[in-house]
Structures are given as C-alpha cells and as structure tokens.
C-alpha cells in the first residue's frame, strides 16, 4: 500500500493500485441477492501529511440491477467509519467487467484531511443495485469494515486483503512554511530599505563635498572682483593727483 507517494499530476494519499492492474475477486456491496441484505464496505486510510481531498479511484463493477453507486468519505470514531464528510451519487459509472472496472470520483467540497487522522472510503450500490468491489492483487491488507447502514459498521479483520482503491489530494503547507515565507519577505524588505537609505546617505555626502568645493571658488571670485575695484579706484586717484 502506498502512503504519501507522488505522481506527475497529483499527490497520492493512499493506494493499493498500480498501473496495469487486473483486479481479482470482489466483495459484494449494495443489495446482495443471495443473502438478502444491504451491505456497505469501507477501507480505512491515514494521511501522512495534511491534504485536501481531491479524488478517489475504486475498482467497483456492476453485477446486477440499476447502474447506481453511492460513495462516502467518512471520518473515524473508535476505529470505525463515522460522520460523512462528502458523499457522491453516481449513475451509469459502473462497467460489468470486474477485472478492469475502475471508477474515478472527483471531490467538489475538497475537505481537509489531517495528518495522522484515520479516514474511510465507504461504498455501496443503490437500493436495488448489486455491485462488486474487487480486491487488490498485491495482497495489501489494512483497516476494513462493513455494515448494513452508515451507522452500524463492524470492524473486519485487518488481515483481510482489502479492496482496490486510491485516494488523491493536494498537500496543505504547514503553518511554519507560511511563517518562514513571511520572515523571508520581511528580511528582503528590510534589506531593500537599508540599501536605499545607504544610497541616499552617499548622495547627501557627495552634495556636501560639492558644496564645500564650490564655496572657495565663489569666495575667490568675490576677492578678485574686490581687488579689481580697488585697482580702478587707485588708477582714478593717480590721474587726479597728476593733474
């Protein structure tokens, strides 16, 4: 059984299906004609990370009756399915080929699946539907349960070879990831402000240096102009004296 593996298109939360599988014997679900009871079957799984639930694949085929399938994503209480998180009613989705029938069900609500918490995929046919949920061919075992209603499950042996299924989802980042991203953003903003402030300080120093250089030049021009005026006055005075 795969837990937390990854494909190119989606994250596999849990699976006992591999590409090219031809499924084996099945477990009767829905209205079972040879015993006259209605049967729900559930497979338990526990995510290794936080996910949103995206879809599930189930190896279920139609045996007889209307082509109706009811599937439920459920929580867990006391090691048994408890509380419906999302439900699906499918019409015409089942094939009559047990070895190849694989139904894909896409989530609409995308409920959150918490790491380390057990959840269940539960399936049954419609009220008059007799269907078969094929076992995986890899002899994977694990939590499984059955019952005549969604509130009357009993735990079957974990040594049973469980039905073929796959649950896909999208990883939800841990809160620490958000904090780290925010911290990095703050550091980048701070560094940008420090750099900008340093540039402004350098520009101010350059302006001050330029000002200090400009003052002596202006002072020198003022002194030259004053000396020129004195020379003009001296020349005028000399002319008057000569006369």
pLDDT surpasses 90 at 15: yes
DSSP labels for the chain? -EES-B-SS-EEEEE---TT-----EEEEEEETTTTEEEEEEEEE--SS-EEEEEEEE-EEEEESS-EEEEEEEEEETTEEEEEEEEEEEES--BS-TTT--EEEE-SS--EE-TT--EEEEEEE-TT-EEEEEBPTT--B--EEEESSTT-EEEPPTTSBPBPEEEEEEEPPPHHHHHHHHHHHHHHHHHHHHHHHHHHHHHHHHHHHHHHHHHHHHHHHHHHHHHHHHHHHHHHHHHHHH-
Pick the last residue of a domain from 172, 206, 235.
172
Instruction: Provide the 10 A C-beta neighbour count for residue 154.
Output: 9
Band the pLDDT of 186: cuts 50, 70, 90. confident
Domain identity same for 179 and 214: yes
Residue where a domain terminates, one of 145, 172, 199: 172
pLDDT confidence of residue 195: 66
Q: Exposed (0-12), middle (13-18) or buried (19+): which is 182, by Cβ within 10 Å?
A: exposed
> How confident is residue 136, by pLDDT bands cut at 50, 70 and 90?
very high
Q: What is the 3-state secondary structure of 107-129?
A: CCCCCEECCCCCEEEEEEECCCC
Residue 174 has pLDDT above 50, yes or no: yes
Domain boundary among 172, 204, 234: 172
CATH number at residue 147: 2.60.120
| pLDDT above 80 (res 116) | yes
Q: Which domain holds residue 135?
A: 2-172
Assess whether 158 and 189 both reside in one domain: no
- Mean pLDDT, the chain, rounded, equals 84
Whole-number pLDDT of residue 197:
62
Same domain? For 40 and 150 the reply is yes
Average pLDDT over residues 203-217: 55
pLDDT reported for residue 222: 72
> Number of structural domains, the chain?
2
Buried b (16+ CB within 10 A) or exposed e, 78-108: eebbeeebbebebeebbeeebeebbbebebe
Domain co-membership, 135 together with 100: yes
Predicted confidence band at 209 (pLDDT cuts at 50, 70, 90)? low
As a whole-number percent, the residues of the chain with pLDDT over 90 amount to 65
Q: Has residue 22 got a pLDDT over 90?
A: yes
Q: Give the pLDDT confidence of 140-171 residue by residue, as tens digits.
A: 999 999 999 999 999 999 999 999 999 999 99
Q: Do 210 and 133 fall into the same domain?
A: no
Same domain? For 168 and 192 the reply is no
């Amino acid at each position: 059984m795969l837990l937390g593996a990854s494909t190119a298109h989606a994250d596999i939360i849990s699976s006992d299906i591999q590409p090219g599988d031809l499924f084996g014997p099945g477990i009767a679900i829905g209205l079972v004609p040879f015993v006259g009871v209605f049967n729900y079957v559930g497979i338990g799984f526990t995510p290794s990370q936080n996910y949103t639930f995206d879809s599930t694949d189930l190896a279920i085929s139609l045996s007889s009756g209307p082509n109706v399938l009811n599937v439920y994503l459920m929580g867990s209480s006391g090691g048994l399915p408890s509380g419906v998180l999302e439900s699906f009613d499918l019409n015409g989705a089942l094939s009559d080929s047990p070895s190849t029938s694989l139904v894909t069900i896409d989530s609409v609500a995308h409920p959150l699946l918490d790491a380390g918490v057990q959840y269940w995929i539960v399936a049954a046919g419609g009220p008059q539907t007799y269907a078969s949920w094929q076992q995986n061919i890899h002899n994977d075992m694990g939590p499984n349960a059955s019952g005549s209603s969604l509130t009357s499950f009993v735990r079957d042996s974990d040594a049973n070879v469980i039905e073929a299924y796959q649950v896909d989802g999208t990883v939800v980042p841990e809160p620490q990831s958000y904090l780290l991203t925010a911290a990095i953003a703050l550091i980048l903003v701070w560094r940008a402000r420090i750099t900008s402030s340093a540039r402004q300080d350098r520009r101010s120093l350059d302006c001050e240096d330029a000002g200090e250089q400009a003052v002596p030049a202006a002072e020198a021009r003022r002194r030259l102009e004053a000396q020129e005026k004195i020379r003009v006055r001296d020349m005028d005075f000399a002319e008057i004296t000569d006369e």
